[in-house]
Amino acid sequence: MDSSVAAELERIAVLVAEEAGRLIEDERPADLGVAQTKSSATDVVTVMDQRAQDLLRERLMGRRPDDAFFGEEDGGEAGTSGLTWVVDPIDGTVNYLYGIPAYAVSVAAVLGDPSTPGGWEPVAGAVCNPRSGETWHAYRGGGAWRTRDGSRHPVRASGADELATALVGTGFGYRARRRTWQVAALTHVLPRVRDIRRMGSAALDLCAVAEGRLDGYYERGLNPWDMAAGVLVVEEAGGVVTGLDGPPSESMVIASGPRLAAPLAGLVGAAARQAGDEAP
């Protein structure tokens, strides 16, 4: 993709992510209601999730009517351009419900089919944390950046190379059987790293790797909307993002700085083998 086109897609991603961020922050009801559940009773979808996604779809389709739209909530759109906007209107919904300031709007433009593992590539994206006022953003070949209060700064992944001194992030799913598997894997990882952090937003975890706030991150069970923008930000920050045996996918996402990539992938692979097959 031409760099000028990719840069324009990045600009759009930042604009719409920050507008949706203002919506979910400024219009958050004091007594936030839960409209329905997602995968389980503990994975909630709020009225604000749907409102934010509707806003993102309206703004993106208004600017790029030939593109497709693929979001976490209801309301997708087919397209003809070969480009799809992959969005998570509130990544970290439970944090949002409880007022924990670790949630984000994630917007990415991808080439390929985001519903096919390994069949898509992010080319521009933005992750906005409206509580901190920070937006991480990138386009393919343009580096990774953090913007706050109108000031833009480049970000760079950690140079850590030792697992024993690495701070590593992870997350847990909402289904009991997946959590059981993830805890089994964690028992293998935790004794071999400095410590573990669980912040509750995959998009923010990936941006933390991009900025060196985390040395590494891994999680099973991510969807394209959870990771599309964050993966690009990590890669443009000089980091590495993989799966267990190929590109990142629902089965595993592993992100780190370049020197920790092989050791962390080896550790997570061993942890996955120890945990065994996920229970039905």
Over residues 57-100, the pLDDT tens digits come to: 999 999 999 999 999 887 788 999 999 999 999 999 989 988 89
By the 8 A CB rule, do 28 and 122 touch? no
pLDDT, residue 73, reads 81
Identify the pLDDT of residue 224.
96
Average pLDDT for 209-213? 98
| Residues 6+ away with beta carbon under 8 Å from 187 | 274
Band (pLDDT 50/70/90 cuts) for residue 30 is confident
Q: Checking DSSP bridges between strand 216-219 and strand 253-256, what pairing results, if any?
A: antiparallel
The Cα–Cα gap between 89 and 105 comes to 5
Classify domain 163-275 at the CATH topology level.
D-Maltodextrin-Binding Protein; domain 2 (3.40.190)
> CB neighbours (10 Å) of residue 84?
25
Q: DSSP letter at 83?
A: E
State the Cα–Cα distance between residues 37 and 91, nearest whole angstrom. Answer: 15
Higher per-residue confidence, 35 vs 7 = 7
The predicted model gives 8-30 an average pLDDT of: 94
pTM of the predicted model as reported, rounded to 2 decimal places? 0.94
pLDDT value at 145 more than 60:
yes
CA distances from 95 to 105, 143, 216, 223 (A): 13, 29, 22, 18
**Around 135, how many Cα atoms within 13 Å sit in the side-chain half-sphere?**
29
Q: Where in the chain is the domain with CATH 3.30.540.10?
A: 3-154
Half-sphere exposure of 196 (CA within 13 A, CB side): 17
Higher pLDDT among residues 76 and 149, named by residue: 149
pLDDT of residue 179: 93
Q: What is the predicted pLDDT for the residue at 182?
A: 96
pLDDT above 70: residue 149? yes
The CATH class, in words, for 3-154 is: alpha beta
> At residue 82, what are phi and psi to the nearest 5 degrees?
90, -5
Q: Is the pLDDT of residue 206 over 80?
A: yes
Where do you find CATH 3.40.190.80 in the chain? 163-275
DSSP 8-class letter at 250? T
> In this model, does residue 158 exceed pLDDT 70?
yes
Residue 56 pLDDT grade (very low, low, confident, very high; cuts 50, 70, 90): very high
Write down the mean pLDDT value for the chain.
93
Q: Inform me whether the pLDDT recorded for 124 exceeds 60.
A: yes
Does the pLDDT at position 42 exceed 60? no
Determine the pLDDT at residue 280: 45
| CA–CA dist 235, 248 (Å, integer) | 12
Question: Does the CA dihedral 31-37-41-43 come out positive or negative?
Answer: negative
pLDDT of 130: 97
- DSSP helix/strand/coil, 135: strand
* Identity at 149, one-letter amino acid code: D
Token digits for 75? 């309301």
Find the mean pLDDT for residues 164-172.
Answer: 98
pLDDT of 36 > 70? The answer is no
Beginning with the edge strand found earlier in the chain, give each strand of the sheet holding 151-154 in spatial order.
68-71, 83-91, 104-112, 120-129, 134-139, 144-148, 151-154
Concatenated DSSP letters of 231-243 = HHHHHHTT-EEE-
How far is Cα 45 from Cα 236, in angstroms, rounded to an integer? Answer: 31
Using a pLDDT cut of 70, give the percent of the chain over it: 94
Contact 237, 210 (CB under 8 A): yes
Percent with pLDDT over 90 in the chain: 82
